[in-house]
C-alpha cells in the first residue's frame, strides 16, 4: 500500500500500491524496483540498501539523514502472522489485490493476520553527510567549491572517495562480491518546499501543475489576457536516480 500522505501534485495515480507515485502515476516498474522507495529518502520500511553518503546544500539536515538511515535503525513492516509463526520468516502481509498495511496502526487493525516487526538495522556507521559542491542548474559536468568555502576558479569533475567496508566480504565469507551502487540526485526546484508540502496540496491545490497556461506577464491585449504556456511536468521535479552494477575484489 502506498503512502497516501505524499505530494502527487496534479497527477492522477492509477493504483494504491507503492509502485504508484507522482513520478510514476501508472505504476510501471523496472525489475524489482519499488518506485516509492526510489523517490523518498529515508524510506519508512526496510530496504536492501546501505547508505554511503549524503551531499546537500543544507547541512542542517545532516543529523536527520544520519540517524534515520537504516545503517543505524530498524524500520517496520507488517508480517503475515501465520507464516511468521510457522517459519520465523517475515513476509509482507498482502491482500487479494496484492496490497498490505504500511503502518503500525493499520497492521494492528488486522490482528487476525498481521504482526508488526521492526528490523533491518545494518549495524554499521551512519552515512557521511557533507556540503555538496556547486554546480549550475541542469549541469552535470564540472563543479566548483561549495557555498561557504573559499571561492576558487578551479573546476573539476564531481567525485567522492569511498573506502569499501571490509564487512562486505566478511558477511559473504568470500573475497569477491557483486555490488549494485545506486546514486540518486535531486533536481533543484524552488517551486515548493519539499520538506513541508504533502497530500494537502494535491489536485486543485497543487503547488505546480503540468504545462500551466497563465497570464504571467499581466499584459492585456484587446481586452483579453495573453496566456503563456510553460513546458513544465511535475513528474520531472526533483528526485532522480541512477544504478550501476559492479564487481568488488578484496585487496591483497
Beta bridge partners of 249: 176
Q: What is the pLDDT of residue 239?
A: 65
Per-residue pLDDT of the chain (252 residues; tens, 9 = 90+): 888 899 898 999 999 888 899 988 999 888 888 889 988 889 999 999 999 999 888 899 999 999 999 999 999 989 888 888 899 888 888 765 567 788 888 887 766 678 899 999 999 999 999 888 877 776 767 887 766 565 566 777 888 888 888 777 887 888 888 888 888 877 667 778 888 889 999 998 988 888 888 777 776 666 666 778 888 878 777 666 677 788 887 777
Q: Which three cell numbers stand for residue 139?
A: 549541469
Q: Which helix (H) or strand (E) holds 75?
A: strand 75-80
Given CA atoms 67, 60, 196, 57 in this order, what sign does their dihedral have? Answer: negative
Distance CA 23, CA 189 (A): 15
Distance CA 225, CA 216 (A): 9
Q: Closest by alpha carbon to 1, among 28, 30, 25, 36?
A: 36
Q: Where are the alpha helices (DSSP H) in the chain?
A: 35-39, 62-67, 81-87, 104-108, 167-172
Q: Closest by alpha carbon to 78, among 64, 68, 91?
A: 91
Q: What is the pLDDT of residue 1?
A: 82
Contact yes or no for 134/154 (Cβ under 8 A): no
Q: Is 110 exposed, middle or buried (0-12, 13-18, 19+ CB in 10 A)?
A: middle
Contact yes or no for 76/104 (Cβ under 8 A): yes
Instruction: Tell me if residue 203 falls in helix, strand or coil.
Output: helix
Distances (CA, A) of 246 to 178, 179, 184, 249: 6, 5, 17, 10
Given CA atoms 39, 44, 49, 53 in this order, what sign does their dihedral have? Answer: positive
Beta bridge partners of 248: 177
Q: Which three cell numbers stand for residue 132?
A: 555538496
CA atoms within 13 A on the CB side of 122: 20
114: which DSSP letter?
E
Contact yes or no for 48/120 (Cβ under 8 A): no
Q: Which three cell numbers stand for residue 57?
A: 546544500
Amino acid at each position: 500500500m502506498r503512502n497516501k500522505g505524499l505530494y502527487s501534485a496534479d497527477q492522477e495515480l492509477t493504483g494504491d500500491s507503492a509502485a504508484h507515485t507522482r513520478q510514476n502515476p501508472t505504476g510501471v516498474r523496472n525489475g524489482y524496483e519499488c518506485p516509492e522507495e526510489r523517490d523518498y529518502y529515508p524510506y519508512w520500511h526496510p530496504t536492501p540498501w546501505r547508505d554511503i553518503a549524503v551531499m546537500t546544500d543544507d547541512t542542517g539536515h545532516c543529523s536527520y539523514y544520519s540517524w534515520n538511515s537504516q545503517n543505524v535503525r530498524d524500520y517496520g513492516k507488517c508480517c503475515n502472522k501465520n507464516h511468521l509463526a510457522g517459519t520465523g520468516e517475515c513476509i509482507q502481509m498482502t491482500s487479494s489485490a496484492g496490497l498490505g498495511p504500511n503502518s503500525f496502526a493499520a497492521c494492528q487493525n488486522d490482528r487476525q493476520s498481521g504482526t508488526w516487526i521492526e528490523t533491518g538495522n545494518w549495524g554499521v556507521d551512519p552515512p557521511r553527510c557533507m556540503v555538496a559542491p556547486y554546480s549550475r542548474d541542469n549541469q552535470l559536468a564540472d563543479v566548483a567549491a561549495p557555498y561557504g568555502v573559499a571561492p576558487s576558479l578551479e573546476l573539476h569533475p564531481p567525485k567522492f572517495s569511498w573506502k569499501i567496508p571490509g564487512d562486505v566480504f566478511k558477511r559473504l565469507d568470500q573475497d569477491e562480491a557483486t555490488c549494485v551502487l545506486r546514486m540518486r540526485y535531486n533536481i533543484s526546484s524552488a517551486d515548493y518546499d519539499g520538506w513541508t508540502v504533502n497530500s494537502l496540496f494535491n489536485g486543485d491545490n497543487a503547488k505546480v501543475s503540468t504545462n500551466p497556461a497563465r497570464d504571467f506577464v499581466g499584459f492585456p491585449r484587446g481586452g483579453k489576457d495573453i496566456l503563456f504556456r510553460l513546458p513544465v511536468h511535475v513528474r520531472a521535479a526533483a528526485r532522480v536516480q541512477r544504478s550501476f552494477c559492479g564487481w568488488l575484489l578484496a585487496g591483497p
